[in-house]
Structure 1
Amino acid sequence: MGHHAVAVRRIDLGYFIRPAVETGGPEPRVEAVLAYLVRHPDGLLLFDTGIGAADPETEAHYRPCRRPLPEALAAAGVTPADIDLVVNCHLHFDHCGGNPLFPGTPIVAQTAELAAARGGGHTFEELIDFPGVRYEEVSGEAELWPGIRVVPTPGHTDGHQSLVVRRDDGIALVLAGQAHDTAAEYGYALLARRAAGEGVEPPLPAYRPWLDRLAAFDPRRVLFAHDASVWEPTGPAAG
């Protein structure tokens, strides 16, 4: 494959501490903040941009440890100016924090998500409407570049979206963002869907209807914003 083959690289942008009140357990949990750099013949795409500046209350609640986006991109041989397209899975401050580094660069967001972000109480407005911001709003599925498609995966927020990346060899990867918090949760949901499809008697857990759409791409890897684990199918895989 040539220099311009489609490739995905994970970018580590730090971590935050999710307090016990949010983990459902006795202890807090330290969670990764991961972005993804997609190289494509049409350019460089960045999926999520890290943890933004927050107010003192939010800082104290989540205690984020940020890795500056320019430093993280430099490790991949890239500068913010090299990015042709930004996609945010959603617009909470730990996913769009680096967006103000991209004036003039199109930022792809679901219309519902942008409306929620501008409606107050969702995020920090200076991360949403900054000098030079340029949104490319989509409602539902959209092909951004050949083989690169956003798919709505609502749940964490109403306007949450994931990115499907079709490689040159035909294999699909899904950048799921926070569609599920962990690879394990995604795997459990897929198994719930399978059990329901095979007629297993209830009770069975509910699963998101968009799982049908993601499964239709037959992804070989599903990657997440807050979990460095990767979901892979258990059956025979090509590649």
Structure 2
Amino acid sequence: MADTVVRRVDLGYFIRPAAETGTGHPRVEPTLGYLIEHELGTVLVDTGMGSHPEVDAWYHPRRIPLATALKASGAKIDDVGYLVNCHLHFDHCGGNPLLAGRPVFTQRTELASARTTQDYTLPPLIDHPGARYEELDGETEILPGVVILPTPGHTAGHQSVLVARSDGTVIVAGQSHDNASLFTGDVLSQRAGVGHYPAWLHRILALDPRQVVFAHDNAVWTPGSSQVSAP
């Protein structure tokens, strides 16, 4: 079996206002998806930002259309056979309607939240024409060596994707953490046995991942000295 390839997809950026950063200053954050090119099919993790006048006025997003973003990563919409959203907030499932008919793997609790919680997301992105959900209740292997793992925290139904390769596991961690530095902090807390860190972190670190990548950070976490390095 050929090694599965993981490619980053640049879907644009938004400006998180000072009211949300905790620093008193706005912060520009990338919106990133990931192509998982498996010999049995291509999986896309996250599809970019949905549009709504209030969303646009608050976050001032710069969107890269999904077809354009995929082309820059060497793919096209027709190549995508499977879809995973780390969660269903507007900035992770904005391109889902363009992929109608593909299986969308999501935790059952996440889909329920998106459908029933006020202001959780943009409803037209969830039950659009042709939406096809594969509802999961926990860890699931969707292709050989491609495993969805619940990583709750940012939302109750947040999930990450584990990709097994011959040179080590790559974790597409979505928004399990806002950035690689916060992930590093939790790794160090887990190693030291102090502080608070998510219970699922043990599962990820037991895989001795080669890389962990994120939805809103261009940095990549690498093991060993817990360095954060540019891709």
Task: Evaluate the alpha carbon distance shift between residue 99 and residue 225 of structure 1 in structure 2; reply closer, same or farther with a 3 A threshold.
Answer: same
Please state how far the C-alpha of 1:5 moved relative to its aligned partner. Answer: 2.8
Q: Normalization by structure 1: what TM-score?
A: 0.91
Partner of 1:63: 60
CA distance in 1, matches of 2:160, 2:119: 23
Partner of 2:215: 225
Partner of 2:92: 95
Amino acid at match of 1:116: S
Render the CA deviation track for 1:130-154: whole Å, top value 9, x for unaligned.
1111001101100000100010000
Which of residues 188, 191, 195 is equivalent to 2:192?
Answer: 195
Question: Is 1:148 the equivalent of 2:146?
Answer: yes
Please state how far the C-alpha of 1:80 moved relative to its aligned partner. Answer: 1.1
Please state how far the C-alpha of 1:59 moved relative to its aligned partner. Answer: 1.2
Question: Is 1:213 the equivalent of 2:180?
Answer: no
CA distance in 2, matches of 1:106, 1:38: 15
RMSD between aligned alpha carbons? 1.3
Please state how far the C-alpha of 1:235 moved relative to its aligned partner. Answer: 5.0
> What percent of counterpart residues are identical?
52
Amino acid at match of 2:207: F
Amino acid at match of 2:39: P
CA distance in 2, matches of 1:30, 1:77: 26
Partner of 1:172: 169
Partner of 1:113: 110
CA distance in 2, matches of 1:88, 1:124: 14
Give the 4+ runs in structure 1 shifted more than 6 A: none
Amino acid at match of 1:224: F
Amino acid at match of 2:163: V
Structure showing greater radius of gyration is: 1
SS of residue matched to 1:126: helix
Please state how far the C-alpha of 1:164 moved relative to its aligned partner. Answer: 0.3
Please state how far the C-alpha of 1:26 moved relative to its aligned partner. Answer: 1.7
| Structure 1: 5+ residue stretches without partners | 197-203
CA distance in 2, matches of 1:64, 1:170: 36
| Structure 2: 5+ residue stretches without partners | 227-231
Q: Normalization by structure 2: what TM-score?
A: 0.94
Partner of 2:33: 35
Partner of 1:20: 18
Partner of 1:199: none
Render the CA deviation track for 1:11-45: whole Å, top value 9, x for unaligned.
10000000111110021000000000011111111
Equivalent residues, number: 225
CA distance in 1, matches of 2:73, 2:174: 20
Please state how far the C-alpha of 1:78 moved relative to its aligned partner. Answer: 1.8
Amino acid at match of 1:76: S
Render the CA deviation track for 1:30-74: whole Å, top value 9, x for unaligned.
0000000011111111000001112x2221111111001100111
Render the CA deviation track for 1:146-171: whole Å, top value 9, x for unaligned.
1000100001000000000001x151
